[in-house]
Amino acid sequence: MTKQIILVFLGGGLGSALRFLVTKYLNKAHFNIPYGTLTVNILGSLLLGIILGWAIKNNALNSNINLALAVGFCGGFTTFSTFAFENQSLLKSGDYLHFLIYTLGSIILGILAIGLGLFFSKSL
């Protein structure tokens, strides 16, 4: 159990650090839509689909690699709380158009990215 916690911790730390860098770079342009958070959530969904698809295909859902990458890295890289906060900020400012674009785009693209990742994992 200790080894598993350390793997999730290390993967999560790497994912969080990379999320910080991506969002810092992409959100600094002051767009109305937070493209940094959108990007990490979509890329994280794609990567999660690939990892879980590979794990299902190889009967490795409980493997250490799956823990470090799917639970740790993808969990640290993606962020629902920031997504929710940014949506609240858009609503508070009365920017309903960008709220709808960001919310629906994130959900639809995230689901499509998971599906694409699962599709890609079939060839791994």
pLDDT over 90 percentage in the chain? 88
**Higher-scoring residue by pLDDT: 122, 110:** 110
Categorize the per-residue pLDDT at 31 as very low, low, confident or very high, splitting at 50, 70 and 90.
confident
Q: CB burial class (10 A; 0-12, 13-18, 19+) of residue 116?
A: middle
103 appears as a binding residue in the annotation: no
Mean predicted confidence (pLDDT) in 83-95: 97
Whole-number pLDDT of residue 62: 85
Where are the chain's structural domains? 2-121
What is the pLDDT confidence band of residue 37, given thresholds at 50, 70 and 90?
very high
Q: Cα(first)–Cα(last) distance of the chain, in Å?
A: 29
Annotated ligand binding at 78? The verdict is: yes
Is the model's pLDDT at 1 over the cut of 90? no
What is the rounded radius of gyration, in angstroms, for the C-alpha atoms of the chain? Answer: 16
